[in-house]
A and B are shown apart, each in its own frame.
Chain A
Amino acid sequence: MKHLSKKEYSELTQKFSPPSKVGRNCLWAFAVGGAICLLGEILRQNFLSMGMEKDLAGLAVSTSLIALSAITTALGWYHRLACHAGAGTLVPITGFANAVVSPAIEFKCEGMVTGVGSKMFVIAGPVIVYGVLASEVYGIIWYFMNRF
């Protein structure tokens, strides 16, 4: 076994210590997350120039990115990218799609109903539940604010 001098040891701890790791992770997240959003914007401008309405263009962008995420998830590429990109692949809608597609494929062996059908919602379920609940709370506030 190789003996380490204090200097070498401190260099090693420096190398593996959290701050630099956090910095690198953030850089990855920024680059990959930014790139996914940039792709979304390119698609959006294309859909808009095709004469789509704003709302519809937004839905078309989401659907395109979801499809792309499903394909890359099925090929195992999305997971490999996510190992480096972290939140860069989690926070965009592609991350939500990945969270649906990945368990769907994973639990295929448990059947199409109790496997695929239910495990799809492992992460998507809470997101939908709390998203809708939050929108209802906001709706109640909005409704009564506009009445009085």
Chain B
Amino acid sequence: MNFVWAFIVGGLLCVIGQLLLDLTSLTPARILVGYVIAGVILSGLGLYQPILQLAGAGASVPLLGFGHLLAEGVRKAIEEMGFWGILTGGFMAAAGGVAASLTAGWIAALIAHSKDQN
């Protein structure tokens, strides 16, 4: 059942993105930024945790999950180190994913050659 919910919730979150692409003039970069900010807000309001509970990777893999990760990181960091956690929490939580992306990008650039995008 976990798998079904992961597919449905993940798919629906992508459909929202597709509607934004097709029906508004938002660029992909703006949609990604919007998703991360929305993830922080939803997590802050406590609305994202139940979705995560239900859908697992269906909620954590879309970029809303990245926003949730940032918000959760800030909460944890503030609990551990007080005020200064406001600054460190987000980056600490995001560090793994961002570092993995940058490393992957760098290695890919080293090995691969750009292809004709058409």
A residues sitting closer than 8 Å to B (CB atoms) are 18, 21-22, 25-26, 28-38, 40-45, 58-59, 61-63, 65-67, 69-71, 73-76, 79, 86-88, 90-97, 99-101, 104-106, 108-109, 112, 116, 120, 122-124, 126-128, 130-132, 134-136, 138-143, 146
Main secondary structure, interface of A, reads: helix
Q: Contacts A29-B18, A33-B10, A79-B117; is A126 near B108 (CB within 8 Å)?
A: no
- Count of inter-chain pairs, beta carbons less than 8 A: 285
Partner of A29, one of B17, B67, B101: B17
How far in angstroms is the closest Cβ of chain B from A49? 12
Q: Does residue B114 face the partner (Cβ distance < 8 Å to A)?
A: yes
Q: How far is the CB of A29 from chain B (nearest CB, A)?
A: 4
**Which size class do B's interface residues fall under?**
35 or more
In Å, the complex CA distance between A99 and B35 comes to 15
In the bound complex, what is the Cα–Cα distance between A140 and B84 (angstroms)?
Answer: 10
User: B5-24: which residues lie under 8 A (CB-CB) from chain A?
Assistant: 6-23
Q: Which of A61, A104, A146 has the most CB atoms of chain B within a 10 A radius of its CB?
A: A104
B36 in contact with A123 (CB, 8 Å): no
Q: Which residue on chain B has the smallest CB distance to residue A63?
A: B100
Measured between beta carbons, the chain A residues less than 8 angstroms from B63 are 91-93, 95-96, 127
Which of the residues B3, B14, B93, B104 comes within 8 Å of A100, measured between beta carbons?
A: B104
Contact among B28, B36, B83 with A131 in the assembled complex (CB-CB below 8 Å): B36
Could you name 22 residue pairs across A and B whose Cβ atoms are closer than 8 Å? A33-B10, A33-B11, A38-B58, A41-B6, A41-B55, A41-B57, A45-B56, A62-B97, A86-B21, A90-B14, A90-B31, A90-B32, A92-B61, A95-B63, A96-B32, A100-B102, A108-B113, A128-B98, A131-B36, A135-B71, A136-B87, A143-B85
